[in-house]
Amino acid sequence: MKRKFTLGFSPCPNDTFVFDALVHHKIDTAGYDFEVILEDVEALNRMAAEDRLDITKLSYHALVYMTDRYQLLRSGSALGHGCGPLLIAREKLSEKQINEAKIAIPGKLTTANLLLSVAYPKAGNKESVLFSDVEELVCSGAYDAGLLIHENRFTYEQKGLFKILDLGDYWENLTWLPIPLGGIVIRRSFPEEIKLQVSDLIRKSVEYAFANPESPMSYIREHAQAMEDEVMKQHIALYVNEYSVDLGDKGKTAVRRVLDTAQENGWIDTYTEPVWI
């Protein structure tokens, strides 16, 4: 079996924080090497759908459609509390207005879009744009509303935009579970030993970053698009936590709830077990 794998993750601070020690061999990688593909999460979702990646960050919404090909690793996930996507607009909108609004979303396969579909099932006029462009497109009037993820959660008020709904709060009030945004998946066809080793390496990479928080900062800044250090640190604190080290029972229950929600809404007929390694 080959010892080099394609590894996809986003250039966002939480992912570069998680993977810095692994890709720069700050930990013992057990003879494995990784070809890094840095793309925004929706691009990674599409690449995984085309079966182009061995290991990748994947929206939990996208995982719904790919359990036959990919399995979830226990480490590297982005779940948490108070970290969900935000539906924003230039002014307060009623539910009727939202259902009729032209909404910019960060991708059809993002978990943000899944949560929006659950909260506003009649909101059908949605268009995919690059996540970092959502704010400006709403500000310019090109879209009536937008779905914010990542660091834009911290900046929209400075642009004079209003929060219509925190979809993370909506999910947590509905389920009493952490918000499952994205996880790390590996080809289901790989031997179990490799899956377990890779998951363990990612766990060690996260633990190294927590123990040495300044170590990944140069890598984070390199890809953070001139983001201020304070915003980068807020971003990391929001999305990297105990669930990134190991999903645990509560994390797995939250992931299962996403899959069951997709099934209950008729988006999929079934999904392949076991979901995680």
Catalytic residue IDs: 150
DSSP string across the chain? --SEEEEEE-SSHHHHHHHHHHHTTSS--TT-EEEEEE--HHHHHHHHHTT--SEEEEEHHHHTTTTTTEEE-SSS-EEESS---EEEESS---HHHHHHS-EEES-TTSHHHHHHHHH-TT---EEE--GGGHHHHHHTTSSSEEEE-GGGGGTGGGGT-EEEEEHHHHHHHHHSS-EEEEEEEEETTS-HHHHHHHHHHHHHHHHHHHHSTTTTHHHHHHHSTT--HHHHHHHHHHH-SHHHH--HHHHHHHHHHHHHHHHHTTS-S--PSPSB-
**Orientation of helix 229-239 relative to helix 13-23, angle to 10°:** 80
Residue labelled with tokens 């935000």: 86
Q: Give the CA count within 13 Å in the CB-facing half-sphere of 223.
A: 19
Neighbours of 179 (CB within 10 A): 26
CA angle 82, 87, 142 (to 5 degrees): 150
Q: Which two tokens stand for residue 191?
A: 């031997």
